[in-house]
Every structure is written in C-alpha cells, then in structure tokens.
Amino acid sequence: MHTLKAPTRRGAMGLAAAAAAVALLPMPASAQLAPAVQAAVDRVRGNRTAQEGRITLRAPPIAENGNTVPITVSVESPMTAADHVTRVHVFATGNPTPEVAVFHLTPAMGRAQVDTRIRLGQTQDVVVLAEMQDGSLFQARTEVKVTIGGCGG
C-alpha cells in the first residue's frame, strides 16, 4: 500500500513558484481575438504579419483596481533615423473600445518605451503592436486579471 506524504514547505513553495511562472507567460499570438478587437488590430496591421519579439510588455498579473492598471511597453530599437519605432498601439480585448492608446515615437526620444495607466473593466488580455520605421510590425500579449472593474457602473 502506498501512502501519501504531506508536502513539505519547500515543495509547496516550489509548486507555487512554478504556477506563478506559468501564469506570467504571455498568451500565444495565435489565440483568437473577439471580432471587434480583431478588426481594430487588422486596421493597424493591414496586410503585414506581426512578428513576436522585440517588445517587453509589463503589466501586473492581477490588478486590484481596473481603473488604473499600470503598463510599460519597451521595444528593442536603436531609435536612429534609419531604424526606429514609429508607433505603439495598445489594445484591451475586453473593453468596449478595444484600442485604448496610440503613442507616436521619434528617434529624438532616445529609447522606445512608454509608461501609462489604462482602464480595464474585467479580466482580459492587453495586446501591443509596435510599428517600425521600415514597415515591420511586432506584437506582444499578456493577461491581466482584474478584481474590481474599471469601465462599468
């Protein structure tokens, strides 16, 4: 007969750390978007294919208040006249208006990073598209769990 042992504190902490790490992984870009969100993304994307990489999207995995969710978007770029980020688009997949912000960047900025707070009415994904000077497009996506809504009454 096999008996189960009570988990050790170290084992429980390791399991919790592994679960947290998995929860922080960005959602795959291939995951389906709602039609309104897909239409907004398609307006930006046009006939280009968005690539993974170059974008670091930082958002809290759990937002206690959806009214002010801090996000930081950094894009790897030398920000020179010949190679720079021109626009960063931020979408919230569960908001009534999916595109919540557009940032216009120039080489004079020195680095491609934006920090802002957005309003999220419920748990949803935040999707970012970065347009480069050469026409290429990059994307990132992450889920934010909201415990108190920010867009509803």
CA separation for the pair 32, 29 (Å, rounded): 8
Q: Is CATH 3.40.50.1170 what the domain over 27-146 is classified as, yes or no?
A: no
The residue ranges of every structural domain in the chain are: 27-146
What is the amino acid identity at position 123? Answer: T
Q: Can you give the pLDDT of all 153 residues of the chain as single tens digits?
A: 444 444 555 554 444 444 333 333 344 444 678 899 999 999 999 999 999 999 999 999 999 989 999 999 999 999 999 999 999 999 999 998 999 999 999 999 999 999 999 999 899 999 999 999 999 999 999 999 998 755 554
Total-model pTM? 0.76
Structure-block tokens of residue 15: 């399991």
CA separation for the pair 63, 145 (Å, rounded): 6
CA separation for the pair 131, 139 (Å, rounded): 9
User: Do residues 63 and 145 make contact, with C-beta atoms less than 8 angstroms apart?
Assistant: yes
**pLDDT attached to residue 3:** 46
